[in-house]
Structure 1
Amino acid sequence: MRIVSTIIFLLALVPSLSHGHAWLKLRIATTEYAPYTSTDLQHDGYINHIITDALLETGVEVEYVAMPWEKALEATLAGEFDALSYGNFIRSREDEFFHSKPISAESLIFYVNSKYENRQWSELSDIADLKMGITEGYLYNDELATFVKNNKNVVKRATDKENLEALVNGDIDIFPIDELTGWYLLEREFTDAERDEVARITPFISTVTTHLLVPKGKPDSQLILSLFNKGIEELTLEGKLTRFKRLLKEGYYQHPQKKVNYDRR
């Protein structure tokens, strides 16, 4: 009860604190996952821009530290960081992390080698014969995680780019990835001829929501979660989440030398 009372008291002070100097600074682990998060992008990427502004609404500053995904998970759980940016909603992760209110919602899709572009599927079992590539350490959604666990026809690679290269070369047949990341990588890193070797099949797998991950069991976890959720609510009311998505599609966050216009899909 004392913790809950403290949170309520601090949140009551937030409107006045957010317009002055920061009263709290958080260290958040992040990864190189453009265009959502990357030290090579404006504001450390689209998602981190939202997180920063949401916490500023409550008078909180953020320092991001970039590292590989698996290391970011371990370090955050070990108490080295206050939170992790970012993760899709995965039920199996709820034992260790709180999921914040959603930051964004994205479509999870399948890319296939072009020889399978007319492949039909309605259940994941329909594609069990295809050699699937997945990115090491990533959890896509609960249904796909279960499928991958029980399917021996799955190979892991370190990055999404490596999986797309394997798809182009025919080393794998199918690869799940969120729509924006897939488009971004194909347009930025591959030639027209290479892109011709890849096709998207329908339907999309699911809609996934993205979240700030706050480790459970830490003294300030509930406070951090409450502050962030309040900030996201404020950004939503102010229409800023729509504005950030528009900036993303216009290429604002990307490196100026290799921009990808997402709206040209």
Structure 2
Amino acid sequence: MIFVFILALVSKSVLSDTVTIRADEWYPINGDPNSNKPGFMIELAKAVLEPAGHSVDYQVMPWERALDSVRKGSHDCVVGAYKEDAPDFVFPKNHWGLDSTGFFVNNDSDWKFDSLNSLLTKKVGVINGYAYGEELDELISNNPSVFSGLGGNDALEKNIKKLTAGRIDIIIESPNVMRAKLEELKLSNVKQAGTLGEASPMYIACSPAKPSSSNYVELIDKGTDALRASGKLSEILARYGMSDWE
């Protein structure tokens, strides 16, 4: 009996990990690690990983650094990832929401998005390392005089300041994220001027360098199904003013 008890403890210590999640702040997907509302993907990660005996260590860092550290295996997963962000990462089958690419301008602007070419006569703010879709990514890469990229955890807030100061004309951003940031900053002088294409699935995605990633995404897939069946998924999303995407 003593041997069985010790074996159980050893097995639990081997199987129980601290899963490290890194990403730039992208609320309501993920936000302040010390908040009681750290973002719905962080709450989902805890809801599926903690019952399996794992703990979650979530911290913010610039997106490019987060991708690099997870790719190398220094950390386990990122959240809020499109498959285009890191096609080499280990993705679960279940995505954690749909999001689109929006274009935002000052309220007094009469510009509206009608094609990618309509961006080329403007100054456009983007965030370094973000994937905006293959065609737009290529346009950004080929036109550095048009697209101005920022990095760091406060890149969106800096872009909003540049927009309201007239230093750029357009910001490209997730509508959900932009609405949350404008509400946080108590700003009402920015409006959406269009959307690019269809909404794309967002994921938690794990390191291609760590064998444990396959176990984590299996837990994520099974856990997501269980959360949906129990109603817990909808409960978590409702805390952020969102609803189930299925």
Q: TM-score scaled to structure 1, two decimals?
A: 0.75
**Aligned residue for 1:129?**
121
Alignment match, 1:237: 229
Tell me the residue number matched to 1:103.
96
Which residue of the partner structure matches residue 170 of structure 1?
166
The structural deviation recorded for 1:49 is 0.2
Calculate the aligned-residue CA RMSD, in Å. 2.5
Paired residues of 2:67 and 2:86 also in contact (CA < 8 A): no
1:140 equivalent in structure 2: 132
Distance verdict in 2 for CA 1:217–1:157, change over 3 Å: closer
Is structure 2 residue 80 aligned with structure 1 residue 71? no
SS at match of 2:218: helix
- How far apart in 1 are the matches of 2:38 and 2:113? 37
Once the two structures are superposed, what CA deviation does each residue of 1:131-171 show, in whole Å capped at 9, x if it has no partner? Answer: 11101222233332222112231111230011111111111
- Going from structure 1 to structure 2, the CA distance change for 1:124 and 1:210 (only over 3 Å counts) comes to same
Of the structure 1 ranges 125-134 and 160-169, higher mean CA displacement relative to structure 2 is found in: 125-134
Percent of aligned pairs sharing the same letter: 22
| 8 A Cα contact 1:135 1:157, kept in partner | yes
Whether 1:36 and 2:32 are equivalent positions in the alignment is no
Q: Which has the higher helix share?
A: 1
**Cα distance in 2 for residues equivalent to 1:166 and 1:65:** 27
Deviates more, 1:56-65 or 1:209-218: 56-65
Report the Cα distance in structure 2 between the residues aligned to 1:128 and 1:156, rounded to whole angstroms: 15
Name the aligned partner's letter for residue 218 of structure 2: S
* Distance in 2 between residues matched to 1:60 and 1:86, nearest whole Å: 21
Provide Cα deviations, 1:181-236, integer angstroms capped at 9, x if missing partner.
Answer: 11111121144xxx32x221134554132211112242222222212121112112
- Post-superposition shift, 1:21? 10
- Output the CA distance in 2 between the equivalents of 1:220 and 1:48: 19
After superposition, the Cα gap between the structure-2 partners of 1:132 and 1:229, relative to the gap in structure 1 and judged at 3 Å, is same
Equivalent in the alignment of 1:186: 182
Which residue type is aligned with residue 124 of structure 1? L
| Unmatched runs of 5 consecutive residues or more in structure 2 | 1-11
Q: Give, in angstroms, the shift of residue 109 of structure 1.
A: 1.1
2:220 to 225, 228, 242: 228
Q: Who is 1:93 aligned against?
A: 86
Deviation at 1:65, TM superposition (A): 3.4
The residue type equivalent to 2:227 in the other structure is L
How many residue pairs end up in the alignment?
224
- Extract unaligned runs of 5+ from structure 1: 1-19, 251-265
Tell me the CA shift for residue 244 of structure 1: 1.7
What is the CA–CA distance in structure 1 between the aligned matches of 2:70 and 2:175, rounded to whole Å?
A: 27
Q: Please tell me whether the aligned partners of residues 110 and 176 of structure 1 are also in contact (alpha carbons under 8 angstroms).
A: yes
CA distance in 1, matches of 2:167, 2:50: 46
CA distance in 1, matches of 2:76, 2:194: 38
**Distance (whole Å) between structure 2 residues aligned to residue 113 and residue 155 of structure 1:** 17
